[in-house]
Amino acid sequence: MPETDLAMLKAFEPYFEILEAYSTKAKNYINGHCTKYEPWQLIAWSVTWTLLVVWMYEFIFQPESLWSRLKRKCFKLIRKMPIIGRKSQEKLNKAKEDMNKTFLFFKVDKEYVKALPSRGLSAPEVLEKLKEYSSMDVLWQEGKASGTVYSGEQKLTELLVQAYGNFAWSNPLHPDVFPGLRKLEAEVVRMSCSLFNGGPDCCGCVTSGGTESILMACKAYRDLAYEKGIKTPEIVAPQSAHAAFDKAASYFGMKIVRVPLNKLMEVDVRAMRRAISRNTAMLVCSTPQFPHGVIDPVCEVAKLAVKYKIPLHVDACLGGFLIVFMEKAGYPLEKPFDFRVKGVTSISADTHKYGYAPKGSSVLLYSDKKYRRYQFFIDIYWQGGIYASPTIAGSRPGGIVAACWAALMYFGENGYVEATKQIIKTTRFLKSELENINGIFVLGDPQLSVIALGSCEFDIGHLFNMMTNKGWKLNLLQFFAILINFCITLVHTQKQVAVQFLKDIRESVTQIMKNPKAMVKGMGAIYGMAQATVDRKLVAELSSVFLDSLYSTDTVTGNHINGSPKPH
């Protein structure tokens, strides 16, 4: 041993002696205190305290926070109190009644079909019946629905219908029977990898939509976390990240940690760093997030991902097939967002949005195959044989894959660049005009196709209701403030659509400003009530009523007011 080390040990010898004296004293005290107990008692106390500590740990450290569980329990007890419970139930019933009156799509003039016809209908008869159903739809072709339909071009529709028809009976679950379909799906994934600058090891899969893409990414990172010894994997995501991350946490037994936003409505990177723990399984960014159309700082978050060796998922479900063409469309972004950024391990992008494929298609991409294998489900013990599937579904519609491939090939790079030009040009025109309307404001700095509107002068629910009465189907947002957002698609680039939107906004704001403190009714009132409700269980009950009603075949009567929002 070097002389310097010996000298250092000698310098610490007095401290070691003091430590040894104290430890001996403590040991003697404990042994002396335990002499009055029999061995079995010492063992019993040890086991009891061990079990108690384990129970306390499991009680406190659960996916749902202790505070959240206490609040839920308190609200449950309060609702059981006679007077408060009765009044609460009365208000809940009133809200349910208002919902049924508010949602126009529940009003059906004709009887529901509740049993199979005794005699099968001919093909013309079936098609004639279907025309009756399609005639109930809102005239989205006029460009008054936010998001929802992203192209609607007649030639594209005809191509997609034909492509689907050619593969209507095919199923990716059987690549031995449908090798052509397997090739189509592999090509959709590879083309997408190229668009997002993936390397030779980049891979992915086709899913049924953005939610499934997000679910699969979370499942993969959960299993990776399990392998690392993490028992309760956590998703660290911005408050603005899609609700599908909450769904994934609920489905897969994970905990979601929501991170606040900064004044620009981007995720607060410092807050995200503080949210990272030894249980963090993945980080999340959105490009853009749906509520405000703002792009999170992917590069900054990716640095955290690299530093702490945590996977980073970029949710580009909404704008993925816009953002990859921004530079060639003449609207370059300041910073990269895709696999060029070190630390980005997966990206989800919906082909059924700005990829203009039919609904029910999305892609989930990984920077490396080592991540994708964690999303697979494989059962090697089933009596029916070895069962392996890449996504949630077993059987999947091959027609959707074929139609998705057809859309990508039909547009090509030049078609997507031109579509991006039109959409971004329209969005920025609307943004500049809306910012000049007194009484409302544009939240954050949206760079893609979503604009969020708010007001400091009046309840924005008024504007939502008035625009609904003019035929517009916009989206209501909650928390930060009640806001309206408008998602621009190719349908809105049609002549005069943007001009008409601005005209209706100006007229509505002018009318509202005559009495800005008036009480809000309709959907605006329902969202206002939902935001003000402290007991979120009540809001969940209302949402359950809505979902139950979607499957109702009972005739709805009564007056209907202020139509309903459409999904994005």
Write out pLDDT tens, residues 151-210: 989 999 999 999 999 999 999 999 999 999 999 999 999 999 999 999 999 999 999 999
**CA–CA separation, 49 vs 70, rounded Å?**
24
Beta pairing class for 344-349 and 362-366: antiparallel
Please compute the mean of the pLDDT values over residues 243-270 and round it to a whole number. 95
**pTM flag (> 0.85):** no
**Higher pLDDT residue, 157 or 479?**
157
pLDDT digits (tens, 9 = 90+) for 456-468: 899 888 899 899 9
Q: Closest by alpha carbon to 235, among 198, 371, 220, 289?
A: 220
Q: Closest by alpha carbon to 489, among 241, 322, 294, 295?
A: 322
Residue burial 163-186, b: 16+ Cβ < 10 Å; e: rest: bbeebeebbbbeeeebeebbebbb
**pLDDT value of residue 395:** 95
pLDDT band at 100 (very low <50, low <70, confident <90, very high): low
Phi/psi of residue 246, each to 5°?
-65, -40
How high does pLDDT run on average in the chain?
88
Q: Closest by alpha carbon to 442, among 424, 460, 419, 425?
A: 460
pLDDT band at 116 (very low <50, low <70, confident <90, very high): very high
Tokens of 384: 């029916």
Task: Inform me whether the pLDDT recorded for 495 exceeds 70.
Answer: yes
Tallying the residues shown for the chain, one arrives at 568
Q: 542 near 527, Cβ under 8 Å? A: no
Please compute the mean of the pLDDT values over residues 468-489 and round it to a whole number. 85
- Comparing 460-469, 509-518, 540-549, the range with the smallest average pLDDT is 540-549
List the beta strands (DSSP E) in 67-150.
none
Share of the chain above pLDDT 70, in %: 88
pLDDT band at 445 (very low <50, low <70, confident <90, very high): confident
Please compute the mean of the pLDDT values over residues 358-365 and round it to a whole number. 97
Beta pairing class for 280-286 and 234-238: parallel
Q: 488 near 451, Cβ under 8 Å? A: yes
- Comparing 39-48, 75-84, 310-319, the range with the smallest average pLDDT is 75-84
Task: Inform me whether the pLDDT recorded for 260 exceeds 90.
Answer: yes
**pLDDT value of residue 562:** 42
Q: 197 near 338, Cβ under 8 Å? A: yes
**pLDDT value of residue 323:** 97
